[in-house]
Amino acid sequence: MGCVFGREAASAASASPRAKESKKEGNLVNSEVGGDGDGVGGDGKGGEVVEAKERGGGGGGEARNGKEQKEEGNRRRGERRRARPNPRLSNPPKNVHGEQVAAGWPPWLSAVAGEAIKGWTPRRADSFEKIDKIGQGTYSNVYKARDSLTGKIVALKKVRFDNLEPESVKFMAREILILRRLDHPNIVKLEGLVTSRMSCSLYLVFEYMEHDLAGLAASPTIKFTLPQVKCYMNQLLSGLEHCHGRGVLHRDIKGSNLLLDNGGILKIADFGLATFYDPNHKHPMTSRVVTLWYRAPELLLGATDYGVGIDLWSAGCIQAELLAGKPIMPGRTEVEQLHKIFKLCGSPSEEYWKKSKLPHATIFKPQQPYKRCISETFKDFPPFSLPLIETLLAIDPAERQTATAALNSEFFTTKPFACEPSSLPQYPPSKEMDAKLRDEEARRLRAAGGKANGAGAKKSRPRDRAPRGIPVPEANAELQANLDRRRLISHANAKSKSEKFPPPHQDGALGFPLGSSHHMDPAFDPPDVPFSTTSFVYQKEPIQTWSGPLVDPPPRQKKQSSTTSKPSAK
């Protein structure tokens, strides 16, 4: 995989054969940013890293993390001291750093993420014309833009940094490295990077995708057919098969990270939480990953030696969600999430409690075991969907199958078969963000109507409040980590004004702390919504989103740039 822009960096790195690089990447397994030997400017002895740390007042590996991850960071730092750093995983030597800067990379990026940018040349911001803001992540804003050189429409993901704090740069570097390792039709392709020597910001350039699965699923007018569900699941599992085969765990599979183009092609996106792993050389990883509704039980129970099963659990949640018409386990806290899992999938067997030795087992083990009731709950699901859901939602990850086995299951080999992606209907652009905006607007209108009509206004029942596809903010993966990162993010990007980048985004508050209580009360039984109905309250009126120039747009677009933004925290 290379840079589509065709210009290889005039660095020594570019001279290295790609095979050599892949071999090197093969050594990046088990990396967590801030961990040992992550190859993302980790703990190599390169002077650049030291220099960057001194400059940025560098935090430790736990800068992004909450207390739990801090402890993990301490543990791993201890291990790091024992382990001899692998020189092949260090940042490029000083001469390569110099060459990368000469090729147009900013020094702060080359210093910390030399490996991630190796062999590439940055694109200039003024070679893109920003069209619209299309998405907002925890640490990024995503824009639709036109590549002025090719005319192609692309998605620009602007990563927010705090004063170029090395830890947050390393996060982004890991995402880039992983994206460069992957090359599959069902995985979003990183086409290049936009920055410049004097810039303090970085944009990741992706092929543009019109929809995401959460947005489509939340649309009141869209009802998926069985061949369509099979088609999406087939593509999701094929993408996961590729990731897992390349030693990558995604760790945040959910509808809003499954992008769809107008040809019905599904691509896994957002590798911000992904990590390299090697099942033969297990290494502790953080359990604070995956958005709550899609988080596997072993993660909620504190596992740090998990594997591909965590992505397959999320895939099982998505399969059931697509067939049920709404999320199947929308927990609000970790405790509630685990309780929902136990109620549906049964609590772990005695044998599993014993063998797994999960850190939170003692506090979360229910006094009375819960019986598994997937088949009863989803009795109306089409034939052969249940056996696959049963295995993907196995409590014991060892019983969860691989993506390859799932692809060979009867769900896919029996009629009606998955349809061809190209035969799928063409939908108007829909993103999770659009659904959120529709939801917000609907709420605003209801509130306005309520005021106007006084007590006569109809109150929506909780069940009417769009139960699907839109994870509550506090359900976001690595919430504490993301909050920490947000705190780290200042307005350093303002320095890039000369490049006419959009103004730094005003971040809203993200939500509430996760799982303040870790005690599972067996008497606590949160109200569940039956799986038979789907009700949405989204308004269909188009809602204007913020639009402004990345470079000065032609006059017809200047009009749009006066509209105001309506951010929605993810």
Kindly list the distances between the CA atom of residue 120 and the CA atoms of 39, 41, 143, 161, 499, in Å, as whole numbers in the listed order: 17, 17, 22, 21, 20
**Residue number, 90 or 291, with CB nearest to ligand ATP:** 291
Helix (H, G, I), strand (E, B) or coil at 55: helix
CB of 187 to ligand ATP, least distance (A): 11
Piece of 29-37, 282-290, 323-331, 428-436 that binds ligand ATP (CB under 6 A): 428-436
CB of 256 to ligand ATP, least distance (A): 4
**Contact letters (x/-) for ligand ATP, 257-296, by CB under 6 A?**
x-x---------xx-x------------------------
> Which of the 8 DSSP states describes residue 343?
H
The one among 372, 431, 436, 468 contacting ligand ATP by CB under 6 A: 431
Structure tokens of 555? 């006059």
CB of 28 to ligand ATP, least distance (A): 20
Q: Tell which residue, 174, 241, 184, has the closest CA to residue 204.
A: 174
CA 68 to CA 70: how far, in whole Å? 5
For residues 232 and 182, is the Cβ–Cβ distance under 8 A?
A: no
- Other Cβ atoms closer than 10 A to 126: 15
Piece of 34-42, 253-261, 412-420, 520-528 that binds ligand ATP (CB under 6 A): 253-261
CA 342 to CA 289: how far, in whole Å? 19
Q: Tell which residue, 333, 328, 323, has the closest CA to residue 344.
A: 328
Residues carrying an active site annotation:
252
Q: Tell which residue, 207, 194, 317, 343, has the closest CA to residue 267.
A: 207
The one among 117, 164, 188, 303 contacting ligand ATP by CB under 6 A: 188
For residues 104 and 3, is the Cβ–Cβ distance under 8 A?
A: no
**Residue number, 276 or 381, with CB nearest to ligand ATP:** 276
Q: Tell which residue, 159, 167, 171, has the closest CA to residue 200.
A: 159
Q: Does 438 bind ligand ATP (CB under 6 A)?
A: no
Piece of 206-214, 326-334, 499-507, 557-565 that binds ligand ATP (CB under 6 A): 206-214
Q: Does 432 bind ligand ATP (CB under 6 A)?
A: yes
The one among 165, 212, 334, 484 contacting ligand ATP by CB under 6 A: 212
Measured from each CB, the residue nearest to ligand ATP is 137
**Contact letters (x/-) for ligand ATP, 130-169, by CB under 6 A?**
----xx-xxxx-x------------x-x------------
Structure tokens of 567? 């951010």
Size of the site for ligand ATP (CB under 6 A): 25
CB of 209 to ligand ATP, least distance (A): 4
Q: Does 352 bind ligand ATP (CB under 6 A)?
A: no
> Which of the 8 DSSP states describes residue 91?
P
Which residue positions form the known binding site for ATP?
157
3-state helix, strand, coil in the chain (%, to 5): 40, 10, 50
**Pairing of β 202-207 and β 153-159:** antiparallel
Which residue positions form the known binding site?
157
**Residue number, 293 or 381, with CB nearest to ligand ATP:** 293
**Residue number, 80 or 254, with CB nearest to ligand ATP:** 254
Helix (H, G, I), strand (E, B) or coil at 204: strand
CB of 137 to ligand ATP, least distance (A): 2
CA 482 to CA 488: how far, in whole Å? 9
CA 385 to CA 323: how far, in whole Å? 9
Q: Does 218 bind ligand ATP (CB under 6 A)?
A: no
**Residue number, 189 or 332, with CB nearest to ligand ATP:** 189
Q: Does 505 bind ligand ATP (CB under 6 A)?
A: no
Structure tokens of 401? 């199958």
For residues 139 and 160, is the Cβ–Cβ distance under 8 A?
A: yes
Structure tokens of 143? 């824009």
Report the chain's C-alpha Rg in angstroms: 23
Q: Does 545 bind ligand ATP (CB under 6 A)?
A: no
Q: Does 250 bind ligand ATP (CB under 6 A)?
A: no
Q: Does 208 bind ligand ATP (CB under 6 A)?
A: yes
Element (H, E) at 129: strand 128-136
CB of 429 to ligand ATP, least distance (A): 9
Piece of 125-133, 234-242, 256-264, 414-422 that binds ligand ATP (CB under 6 A): 256-264
Q: Does 437 bind ligand ATP (CB under 6 A)?
A: no
Give the end-to-end CA distance of the chain in Å, rounded to a whole number.
30
Q: What residues make contact with ligand ATP under the rule CB under 6 A?
A: 134-135, 137-140, 142, 155, 157, 188, 206-209, 212, 256-257, 259, 269-270, 272, 431-433, 570
